[in-house]
Amino acid sequence: MSESIAPRTSLYGRRASDPKWARLRTDVPSVLRRGAWYRVLAVTPRQVRLTVNTAPVLMGRDQVELRLEPPRRWTVLLKPARLARVPQSFHDGYLVCPSCRNRVSLPQRAALTLRCPRCNVLSEVGWDEHYLGESRGVEVPQKD
Ligand SMILES: [Zn+2]
C-alpha cells in the first residue's frame, strides 16, 4: 500500500509561527509590487522566501510585513515616491487589490469598499493604513 502524502485540506491550516503572506514595507527597489501581498514559502529569523509570479524570491525579513491572515483590504498608495514601474495614470496614487494584485486608479469619491474590475472581489479600502507613509495631502474618509 502506498504511503502517498495526503493532500492539504486547507490552504490556511497554520501555526502561530507560520506567516502566510508578505508585503513590502520599505520603499526600496524590488521585484515585489509595492502594496501587493505575496504568498510566503518559508520564514527564517532573517529572511523570507516568497513567490512572485510563481518564482521564489528571497527578501530580508525586515523589508517585509508578515501576516497570517489572507489580506482583505486594498492597499492605498498615495503620491508614490518611486514611479519607475508605475504607469503615468497612477502617479497621483492608486490602489492594489488584496486578492489579485491588480492596480486601479484612486476612486473619485473616497469609497470605503471597492470591487476589483479584474477578479471581481469586493474589498475594503485601507485608507487608514498610511502604507509606506504615503498619506501626504489627501483627505481620508472618516468611518462612523
Ligand atoms: Zn483583484
Residue-level pLDDT at 3 = 47
CA 26 to centroid of chain Cα atoms: 13
Residue-level pLDDT at 17 = 61
Mean pLDDT of the 35-60 span:
93
Using the mean position of ligand 1's atoms as its centre, give its distance from the Cα of residue 64 in Å: 21
Using the mean position of ligand 1's atoms as its centre, give its distance from the Cα of residue 116 in Å: 5
d(CA 51, CA 30) in angstroms, rounded, equals 13
**Grid cell for residue 28:** 526600496
Residue-level pLDDT at 13 = 46
Using the mean position of ligand 1's atoms as its centre, give its distance from the Cα of residue 120 in Å: 6
Using the mean position of ligand 1's atoms as its centre, give its distance from the Cα of residue 33 in Å: 14
Contact present, 25 and 132 (Cβ < 8 Å): yes
**Residue 140: pLDDT band with limits 50, 70, 90:** low
Using the mean position of ligand 1's atoms as its centre, give its distance from the Cα of residue 104 in Å: 9
**Grid cell for residue 131:** 502604507
Using the mean position of ligand 1's atoms as its centre, give its distance from the Cα of residue 1 in Å: 43
Using the mean position of ligand 1's atoms as its centre, give its distance from the Cα of residue 46 in Å: 30
pLDDT in tens, 82-123: 777 788 888 889 999 999 999 999 987 778 999 999 999 999
* pLDDT over 90 percentage in the chain: 50
Residue 82 one-letter amino acid? R
Using the mean position of ligand 1's atoms as its centre, give its distance from the Cα of residue 85 in Å: 19
* pLDDT over 70 percentage in the chain: 81
Residue-level pLDDT at 81 = 77
pTM: 0.77
Q: Is the pLDDT of residue 4 over 90?
A: no
Any idea where the domains of the chain sit in the sequence?
A: 21-67, 73-133
Between these two residues, 126 and 108, which has the higher pLDDT value? 126
Residue-level pLDDT at 137 = 46
Residue-level pLDDT at 78 = 86
Using the mean position of ligand 1's atoms as its centre, give its distance from the Cα of residue 123 in Å: 9
d(CA 97, CA 74) in angstroms, rounded, equals 5
Residue-level pLDDT at 49 = 94
d(CA 115, CA 74) in angstroms, rounded, equals 10
Contact present, 48 and 61 (Cβ < 8 Å): yes
Architecture, CATH, for domain 21-67? Roll (2.30)
Using the mean position of ligand 1's atoms as its centre, give its distance from the Cα of residue 81 in Å: 23
